[in-house]
Chains A and B, each alone.
Chain A
């Protein structure tokens, strides 16, 4: 008798647009917030570890030692700190005044000049393991640069040593030896310390392996964070916007009146999804321009595909908001629930920060229920790798299913009475 009527859905949508236009807060929230947050966090969140305080104990004081010292700050990652009087490099590490220390033994410059192999010890603070891991990652590059500067021979040695993090007395410290083969390509292997096996990459071997990073050759962490950040913020915004709408009708008392009219739940839901969907989509465009113009994130894939992924993801997020709204019926509770369910899982379980592959098995399955996980995969795939629909079939399918499931849940929970 009373089927879905597109005109009634439209009238709900039109009314919703009037609410939005008359509520500058919602409008500002929807259009301004994503750009602001992406810019703000885009600058703040940086996986690259920079400005590492390096204490150098130079017992050599020769020209080569000075050159080695200069290489560290020249990399852009380190700056030198003076060792406080009466203190040593280790004490500097213990007190947190330095994060890494470099020991240069006497005779360093003399040995270099004589064409011999030299070594310098690099000790680092392992109490912050993500920082330590990043530092270790810089070492091969430093070593190559040092090789060139100290011996004049081109760097042919890729990272061929693995520094171990050793637990220290008071805190974890890691130590690595920087080995510099002599300016004598004939036999560099003999200079490796016992126990550290010469690697297959060394020049004398027939195979040589070199690491090259695809899609993001400089490992620019912003290229990685910004698409993910956009996903989180857009999702949160979509959830918050719709979480309030149905709850507002209940709090306002207008739901009682609406329910006594011929309007159907599906019409109310469609009418509420459409305008907010468009609003969030506008947010996506703004964020896109910020990502491209401000952060210079490249876009390798298809824009149409990205838009399709956005639409699916926005639908899922808006529907999640509707479910919250329909169940809570109170704006404040809906807001809190929207914040928690919109922010925490997408931050922590979507692969934004922690790779899904390294989570315990249970969580790997759990994340499958989260739209941000799939959108994150799709967005990074499209933006950085230029993946096509065939390669992203699973994320797209999952997003579609989750959207449909969420909508069905909202519809099921939508009450047509006041019980």
Chain B
């Protein structure tokens, strides 16, 4: 089992003068479920895209470690799965066709694929909808399908950009249960969310506000450390838009 951890060091990213991340250092320690918490425009998506190698840092760096030894991004890439925030599936392809397409891209064996897809369809409860096209799925089902495509090859690092955004409460709970199940495998999971109540579901949280890191650590420790009653309060007290 490959165990990866990621560290960002004064990571900066700006787009045409707009600063998205203003020097953020976060330790995404191995085998845990990390939450990247922040409101819209906090820099969550930029952070995840940088971690996924889809953007290049303007300054600062990202360190990838495998089993405690520094590794190049290229070594991590084959076992990295990333679910973008925006719609990224093909509306005219069905659930089954998506899974088969990604299976081919990942070059999975038939046996591995049938076991894995069976499991995923069962836990996402999409097994009754395999013929439904992605364009006709509900918001929650759509996110689950995206997640399934990312999970199909049993990644060691999973980056999920707002997987619960716009999803009804029941489906949100289901998605989180799915993530708990994955976290039990001790893989590195980084989830971004704007829902403060989801912070408590993570093993580690990193509060981002306007491209700056407000706090980092275990959820309760963070509350204690800042003396806040809840996470909203931290943003209100320490955030840029007070």
Interface residues of A (CB under 8 A from B): 1-2, 5, 7-8, 10-11, 14-15, 18-19, 22-23, 252-263, 417-419
CB-based contact A254/B54 at 8 Å? no
Quick one: which of B54, B81, B101, B105 contacts A256, CB cutoff 8 A? B54
Residues of B within 8 A of A10 (CB): 104
The CA-CA distance from A2 to B105 in the complex, in Å, is 12
Q: How far is the CB of B101 from chain A (nearest CB, A)?
A: 5
The residues of A that contact B166 with a CB separation of less than 8 Å are: none
Q: Does B175 contact A (CB under 8 A)?
A: no
Are A260 and B80 in contact, with the CB atoms below 8 A?
yes
On chain A, the residues within 8 Å of B181 by CB distance are none
| Closest Cβ–Cβ distance, residue B210 to chain A (whole Å) | 21
Inter-subunit contact A18/B93 (CB<8 Å): yes
User: In the complex, which residues of chain A have a beta carbon less than 8 angstroms from the beta carbon of B86?
Assistant: 253, 256
Is B172 an interface position by the 8 A CB rule?
no
Can you list 8 A-B pairs, Cβ within 8 angstroms, ordered by A? A1-B74, A8-B105, A253-B86, A256-B84, A256-B86, A260-B54, A260-B84, A262-B106
Note all chain B residues with C-beta closer than 8 A to A257.
82-84, 88-89, 146, 149-150
A261 and B90 contacting across the interface, CB-CB below 8 Å: no
Residues of A within 8 A of B74 (CB): 1
Q: Given A15-B93, A19-B92, A417-B55, check contact A263 B84 (CB 8 Å).
A: no
Interface contacts beyond A261-B106, A417-B54: sample of 16 additional A-B pairs, CB < 8 Å, sorted by A: A7-B107, A15-B90, A15-B97, A252-B88, A252-B90, A252-B91, A253-B86, A253-B87, A256-B86, A257-B83, A257-B84, A260-B84, A262-B77, A417-B56, A418-B54, A419-B55
- Find the A residue at minimum CB distance from B90: A254
Q: How far is the CA of A150 from the CA of B86 in the complex (A)?
A: 84
Complex Cα gap A254–B149 (Å): 12
B176 interface hit (Cβ, 8 Å): no
Could you tell me the distance between the alpha carbons of A14 and B90 in the complex, rounded to whole angstroms? 13
Would you call A5 and B88 a contact (CB within 8 A)? no
- Classify chain B's interface size: 20 to 34
> Closest Cβ of chain B: how far from A416's Cβ, in Å?
8
Does B78 count as interface, using CB distance less than 8 angstroms?
A: yes
The reply on B186 being an interface residue by CB < 8 A is: no
- Give bound CA distance, A8 to B105, whole Å: 5
- Contact partners of A419 in chain B: CB under 8 A: 55-56
A252 near B54 (CB under 8 angstroms)?
no
Contact B87 A22 (CB under 8 A): no
A-B pairs with lowest CB-CB distance, top 10: A11-B104, A260-B82, A253-B88, A257-B88, A256-B84, A253-B86, A22-B92, A418-B54, A261-B105, A417-B54
Per-position 1/0 for B27-62, Cβ under 8 A of A: 000000000000000000000010011111000000
A10 vs B81: C-alpha distance when bound (angstroms): 22
CB distance from B56 to the nearest CB of A (A): 6
A interface SS class: helix
The answer to whether A8 touches B104, judged by C-beta atoms less than 8 angstroms apart, is: yes
Residues of chain B contacted by A2 (CB below 8 angstroms):
78
Q: Are A11 and B87 CB-contacts (below 8 A) given A260-B82, A417-B55, A419-B56?
A: no
Residue among A1, A14, A255, A418 making CB contact with B55, cutoff 8 Å: A418
In the complex, residue of chain A having the shortest beta-carbon distance to the beta carbon of B98: A15
The interface residues of chain A lying within 8 Å CB-to-CB of B90 are 15, 19, 252, 254
Choose one: A8, A18, A255; the contact of B92 (CB below 8 Å).
A18
Q: How far is the CA of A22 from the CA of B94 in the complex (A)?
A: 11
Q: Are A260 and B81 in contact (CB under 8 A)?
A: yes
Contact B87 A252 (CB under 8 A): yes
Q: Are B92 and A417 in contact (CB under 8 A)?
A: no
Known contacts: A15-B93, A418-B55. The answer to whether A256 contacts B104 by CB under 8 A is no
Which chain B residue has the least Cβ–Cβ distance from A417?
B54
Residues of B within 8 A of A23 (CB): 92
Q: How far is the CB of B155 from chain A (nearest CB, A)?
A: 10
Contact with A along B129-150 (1 / 0, CB 8 A): 0000000000000000010011
B166 to chain A: closest CB distance in Å?
A: 14
Residues of B within 8 A of A7 (CB): 104, 107
Nearest chain B CB to A263's CB is how many angstroms away? Answer: 5
Whether the pair A263, B54 counts as a contact (CB closer than 8 A) is no
Q: Which residues of B contact A256 (CB under 8 A)?
A: 54, 82, 84, 86, 88
- Which residues on the A side are within 8 Å of B78 (C-beta)? 1-2, 262
Known: A253-B88, A260-B52, A261-B105. A18 touches B97 (CB 8 A): yes
What residues of B have a CB within 8 angstroms of the CB of A262 in the complex? 77-78, 105-107
User: Which residues on the B side are within 8 Å of A19 (C-beta)?
Assistant: 90, 92-93
Quick check: is B113 within 8 A (CB to CB) of the other chain?
A: no
Bound-complex Cα distance A326 to B179 (A): 35
A18 to B97, CA, bound (A): 9
Chain B nearest CB from A265 CB (Å) reads: 13
CA distance A252 to B150 in the complex (A): 17
Chain B nearest CB, measured from A14 CB (Å)? 8
Q: Which of chain A's residues has its CB closest to B161's CB?
A: A256
Shortest Cβ distance from residue B21 to the other chain A in the assembled complex, whole angstroms: 14
Distance between Cα atoms of A19 and B94 in the complex (Å)? 11
- A11 pairs with B101, CB closer than 8 A: yes
Give Cα distance in the complex from A258 to B83, angstroms.
10
Binary contact track B104-117/A, C-beta < 8 Å → 1, others 0 = 11110000000000
Cα A256 to Cα B89 in complex, Å, equals 10
Q: Which residues of A contact B97 (CB under 8 A)?
A: 15, 18
| Listed residue (A258, A260, A262, A418) with the most chain B CB atoms within 10 angstroms of its CB | A260
Q: How far is the CA of A261 from the CA of B90 in the complex (A)?
A: 15
